[in-house]
Chain A
Amino acid sequence: MSDSAATDTKQSFQLKSASVSLTALELYYFDNDEFEANLRDKISQAPGFFKDIPLIISLEKYEGLDSELDFFKMIGTCRRHNIHVIGVRAANDDQRRLARGASLALLPGGSLKERPAPEAPAEAEPEAAAAQEPANEPAPAKIINQPVRSGQQVYAPEGDLIILAPVQAGAEVLAAGNIHVYGPLRGRALAGIHGAESARVFCQSLEAELVSIAGHYKISEDLQDIGWKSAVQIQLRDDVLVVTPLDKA
């Protein structure tokens, strides 16, 4: 094969930038037995969520000795529970060296945006909750003033989505948090797309094609009975979407 033939053919890949939201494990100290016990405990609270997830070990609040950091054991323990450690957010050079030795990717340190990860019962681990306390900045809401037209999609990957105009039939609005539509909602609205079951959808006039909260959805046909074409809120109760007229809320 000549060089020119190689350049004529299509490349075998293309690099694209991607941003994915990941779960970070903030480690305070490491003892493999305790680590495994705590991990097992966490997983039992939401088995589906932890299956085959990628995990980052964050050492920014690590208080133990660096010599106690045994990444091989940590990876092995996680792997036994179907969790894949992919990288480390290290605080110093020693930690970085250890991580590199374990073939883990190094992630830039700095402000780890603290969002209470889908932590099922928060009270289960009081000390962890206390450690997370320091006033978390809420993710800013995305505000849209223009109508969202058929074929358009608006996505708020972190916080709430607020739309001060109609969402037309054939349009789609998605948010990690709540969705507010101060106009008729005629298209599709998907709130809590990362699994936040407490997310809600509010709208001035419910005429939606589909409403979904944390993956539980109802289509237009099933929404006709309560609050159709009026101001409502929609929330998840016992895995069922419940529509409540706003004047009765």
Chain B
Amino acid sequence: MARIIVVTSGKGGVGKTTTSASISTGLAKRGHKTVVIDFDVGLRNLDLIMNCERRVVYDFVNVIQGEATLNQALIKDKRVETLYILPASQTREKEALTKDGVEKVINELSETFDYIVCDSPAGIEHGALMALYYADEAIVVTNPEVSSVRDSDRILGILQSKSRRAEMGQDPVKEHLLLTRYNPDRVEKGEMLSVQDVEEILAIPLLGVIPESQIVLNASNQGLPVILEEQSDAGQAYEDAVARLLGEEREHRFMTSQKKGFFSRMFKGG
């Protein structure tokens, strides 16, 4: 049985697709057979970040509606052996994702894959509900600012009331907090919420903190999951997050200001 992980947030533009691309790539790099599904029907982006937009023939909706088989629609990643992408349709409506249709596709994928990563659209409407419905685990992507935290809280409530696990009365969806666009300098100036603030408000375990970085943007534009930028702090932070997702213990990094000199750290620490 595959583990089904939804990457969700409520709020748009916080880094769900970037995270879906990096987490799925990271899982596949470690040898797990992984598929990442774009649930953002009508606004598909995942294929751009994964640099496979020119290879999309059939999509998720085609498979649901029986116009193509899964094998025709799945795109094999060129960089990582065990990674597949199921792109969203750009021309359909989100309503094309039916509960039964999504279930059929997920069940079929479960037979051959270890991990199914569902990249949720923003909002709390149909597309987002479909993306989270079958999830076993949820990565809630949050920016360190009040409105993003509020929307994450809303989506956490929906995960605990509207997912299949909730409806069937099974164990609840396992929740992970992933804080993205984190800038320790701005936290120090009081312009951003700190990790502790967000953890305290949302009260769920922290999976990782991804520092704000130009590299994330550059990688996105080049169609490269940022986790493959192995030298960058953002890439390493995603690497850590994947390790934690798989149960490894890793210390959290990139949470304090980089520019801070040795002495100031000594004085503050002392």
A residues within 8 Å of B by Cβ?
146-152, 165-166, 168-171, 186
Contacts and interface: CB of A to CB of B under 8 A. Distances in A.
B203 A150 contact: no
A171 B153 CA distance: 10
A169 B150 contact: yes
B203 A169 contact: no
A152 B150 contact: no
13 contacts: A147-B156, A148-B157, A149-B157, A149-B160, A150-B150, A150-B153, A151-B154, A151-B157, A152-B157, A165-B203, A168-B153, A171-B157, A186-B201
A186 B203 CA distance: 13
B51 interface: no
A168 B161 contact: no
Given A149-B160, A168-B153, A186-B201, 10 more contacts: A147-B156, A148-B157, A150-B151, A151-B158, A152-B161, A168-B201, A169-B150, A169-B153, A170-B150, A170-B154
A117 to B, nearest CB: 34
A170 B146 CA distance: 12
A166 B203 contact: yes
Looking at chain B's contact residues, is the secondary structure mostly helix, strand, loop, or mixed? helix
B154 A150 contact: yes
Contacts of B157: 148-152, 168, 171
A168 B149 CA distance: 11
A147 B154 contact: no
Contacts of B124: 151
B interface, how many residues as a size bin?
10 to 19
A170 B156 CA distance: 13
A151 B159 CA distance: 12
A171 B124 CA distance: 16
Contacts of A147: 156, 203
A-B residue pairs, 9 tightest by C-beta: A149-B157, A150-B154, A150-B153, A152-B157, A151-B154, A168-B153, A149-B153, A149-B156, A151-B157
A224 B183 CA distance: 30
A135 to B, nearest CB: 36
A208 B201 CA distance: 13
A209 to B, nearest CB: 12
A241 to B, nearest CB: 25
B189 to A, nearest CB: 22
Contacts of B158: 151
A172 to B, nearest CB: 12
A152 B160 CA distance: 10
B147 to A, nearest CB: 11
Contacts of B201: 166, 168, 186
A165 B124 CA distance: 24
Nearest to A153: B157
B89 to A, nearest CB: 29
Nearest to B124: A151
B29 to A, nearest CB: 34
A152 B166 CA distance: 14
Contacts of A150: 150-151, 153-154, 157
A151 B162 CA distance: 13
A147 B172 CA distance: 13
A166 B124 CA distance: 22
Interface string B15-50: 000000000000000000000000000000000000
B162 to A, nearest CB: 11
A150 B124 CA distance: 12
B166 to A, nearest CB: 11
Given A146-B160, A151-B158, A170 B153 contact: yes
Contacts of B160: 146, 149
A151 B156 CA distance: 10
Nearest to B149: A169
Contacts of A168: 153, 157, 201
Contacts of A148: 157
A234 to B, nearest CB: 22
